[in-house]
Chains A and B, each alone.
Chain A
Amino acid sequence: MSSPTTATRPSLISRAVTRFDWRSNVIYIAFVVVFILFAIFLSSDGFLSTNNMLNIVRQTATISIMAVAMTFVIATAEIDLSVGSIAGLASVVTAMATTQWGLVPGILAGLLSGAAIGAINGGLVALLKVPSFLVTLGMLGLAAGLAQWITASAPQPIGNTVYVQIFGGGDFGPIPGLLVWTVVAVAIGWIAMNRTSFGRRVLATGGNPTAAAYTGIRTARIKFTVLLLSGIAAAIAGMLYAGRLESGRFQWGQGDELTVIAAVILGGTSLFGGRGAIIGTLVGSLFMGLINNGLILAGLDVAQQSVVRGAIIIAAVALSRKK
């Protein structure tokens, strides 16, 4: 090879552009663009204030935690539609149990409710091979109904101040507790996805189930585990709702499943499995919170917010489909 290779090689920039993976990175661009737009147009409404920034984090914590677990579910090419309802159920279970038996039993009861429903979801998917879409769609209604039934639709106040301190009501110095919860969830999720064999098995199960099985991975067990974890994460989210709002209500978390799934997909995780981006999921969740926050500050009413939010999600997902 006598001819210089530099002559034919495209410049570093153009190579970076052509190599750029739209699908997995569009969320970062969208986040920055929307953030700058809001900063310009809503600065007079206090968008950029520290308080408002922390508010976004507080309001997104529950979504982020459920989305981290959902990333594992979607990476195995499954789905969990029941997370919002599980959150609602866990919020009332933990509130009632705390009032009745005290702090620790209250916490355990909340976690247990999520774990139980997650295990049922996972068991039906793994053992009976029922599609997770159907199982969790049914569970969405079942868990929501259960939460409403056992409380007779009444809110369940939480008087326990320690509970409120731990689950989202309190701060660690200047740092809101909900921020800590988010950071911990994302850190655990990232390590589990990228640095443990469990994460590898999840990605392999979603990426090529046959090959995964031939490699000796028990794919049914993986599917069970991710749905169980998703249930537990949803329960934690519900307990955080209960702590932040000092009561358990069956309405908490209602409709969150859509926000959570949108956040995960926006973050670059493939709906077809085999890819799971935890950091992308975090940014996706923050993006959803950012839009909510900005639209409220802009003075849009609930109906208008809903329309604009829907349009932005569709646009972002469409962009991320571009190859």
Chain B
Amino acid sequence: MRGIVKSFGPVEVLKSVDMDIVAGEVHALAGENGAGKSTLMKVLQGVHPITSGTIEVAGQPVAIRTTADAERAGIGMVFQEFSLIPSMTVAQNIFLNRELRGKSGLVDDRAAEKAAREIFDGLGVTIDPKARVETLGTAYWQLVEIAKALAKNASVLVMDEPTASLAKHEVENLFELIDKLKSRGIAIVYISHRMDEIRRVADRITVLRDGRVVLAAEVAQLTAAEIIEAIIGRRLASDLVYRDRQLLADAPILLEATNIGSGRVLKSVSLTIRAGEIVGLAGLMGSGRTEFARVVAGMDRPTRGTLSIDGKLVRFSTPLAAQQAGIALIPEDRRDQGLVLDHSVSDNLTLPVLDRVKSGAFLSMTKLRELTNQLVTRFGVKVADPYAPVSRLSGGNQQKVVVAKWINTRPRLLVMDEPTSGVDIGTKTEILDIVREFASEGNAVLFISSELPELLAVADRIIVFREGRSDRALNRDDVASEEQLQLIIQGEAA
């Protein structure tokens, strides 16, 4: 790929990116959220056509404008959000839209199952091609995706965060599989920000920052520190550091959870949060962090265990009951769960506190305006017009609106689920400052994040979740480095 430029309207997301991928190599692609990784891959895959630049496959220039073009060029994708049809079988998914036909011209599922079985045998994995995808675990979904790409004779396989939802031993299996694919001459573009994985599996690395290539080299010649520096940039690295805050060891316990379980995922979680404390929840996807947050916020009722606030047992039957007890949840998916996107910034900010902006029975426009201005200023929301739809704001500013909206309800415990996903690093540090300030006022924060640097920057204590249980409780001082915490999360460190 040479000089790839991709603009969305006036916004240039990719600014002249060059990248060479050699057959039989694993080429890591790293960069922060928003650096352009996903866009670059969508370009390769034909979802977004490029604005300028050239793509060559095996020396031949190719025009990739549709997903079909990408397929013809031999580029296969293994998606982060899995792209299978849950209600169909494994074999039907693998051959979707390219169904094998029998003599009668009708679709021949048996042939597809046989072909699928051959692919799986070649990979050394056992999956029943007749099983419906929804009945399989996520590790198998990924294998099905890989098989789907291989069935199309892909020579380049793009894997987007392939280990995000895998358990430790599954990751090892994946790496073995990657080695096998390599030996067949298949090139793999490996998108990840886990340093240990990149060093374990990749031959070369390209790092993107702000839509440009900032590093392209052999992995073996680089140290982890050099790669991280390239990813986050020297200046910004210093923003994500832990600041010691004055914590009272005898501050009252605000929330205490004992053996909380709910649904299939959450087995047994026990933890306490004191007033003024920021407690981080770490763990792999599916370890029960979000599920625990939902229980605390009254979305799900626990099937086991007890929850108490200020030492008094509580059982929330609705989110409203939790809110009245002083708990606010900033949900995982801000576009879906956190905001009414088509409504204005002002409407979104004031939605939970409409009772406070009334005069008599009616909403007071004056009070609404005052409150909106006050919140926008206090939380530094960068907005041209607070009465324009919130969907026009950047991800980071949208998230500030969500944070402002909930802090303004004056909760005592703020539960934040991945509050900085898709947020640029500048806004990220601002949000962390808001969180710190909020806690310093004697409130408590439960901070869920998969991004360890920010977790380490903000949390006073870290609880590590594993398989639906609260596995370890760590004081901030006990964690020396991101790598160490990563090892604990993966279950490798004592």
Contacts and interface: CB of A to CB of B under 8 A. Distances in A.
B69 to A, nearest CB: 10
A32 interface: no
Interface in A203-220: 203-204, 207-208, 210-217
A308 to B, nearest CB: 33
A157 B467 CA distance: 71
Interface in B147-190: none
Interface residues of B, number: 22
A208 B83 CA distance: 8
Interface stretch (A55-63, A194-202, A256-264): A194-202
A217 B79 CA distance: 17
Interface residues of A, number: 23
B263 to A, nearest CB: 13
B224 to A, nearest CB: 34
Interface in B341-389: none
Given A214-B67, A214-B79, A215-B67, A200 B92 contact: yes
Contacts of A196: 99, 106-107
DSSP class of B's interface residues: helix, strand, loop or mixed?
loop
B89 to A, nearest CB: 11
DSSP class of A's interface residues: helix, strand, loop or mixed?
helix
B220 interface: no
From B47, B71, B87, B107, name the one whose CB has the most chain A CB atoms within 10 angstroms: B87
Contact of A204 (B66, B96, B107): B96
B106 A200 contact: no
A200 B67 contact: no
B106 A191 contact: yes
Nearest to A210: B83
Contacts of A88: none
B99 A200 contact: yes
Contacts of A211: 82-85
Interface of A: 191, 194-197, 199-201, 203-204, 207-208, 210-217, 270, 274-275
Given A194-B107, A199-B107, A208-B86, 16 more contacts: A196-B99, A196-B106, A197-B97, A207-B85, A207-B86, A208-B83, A208-B84, A208-B85, A211-B84, A215-B67, A215-B83, A216-B68, A216-B71, A217-B97, A274-B85, A274-B86
Interface of B: 45, 47, 66-68, 71, 77, 79, 81-88, 92, 96-97, 99, 106-107
14 contacts: A191-B106, A195-B106, A197-B107, A204-B88, A207-B85, A208-B83, A211-B83, A211-B85, A214-B77, A215-B83, A216-B66, A216-B67, A216-B68, A274-B86
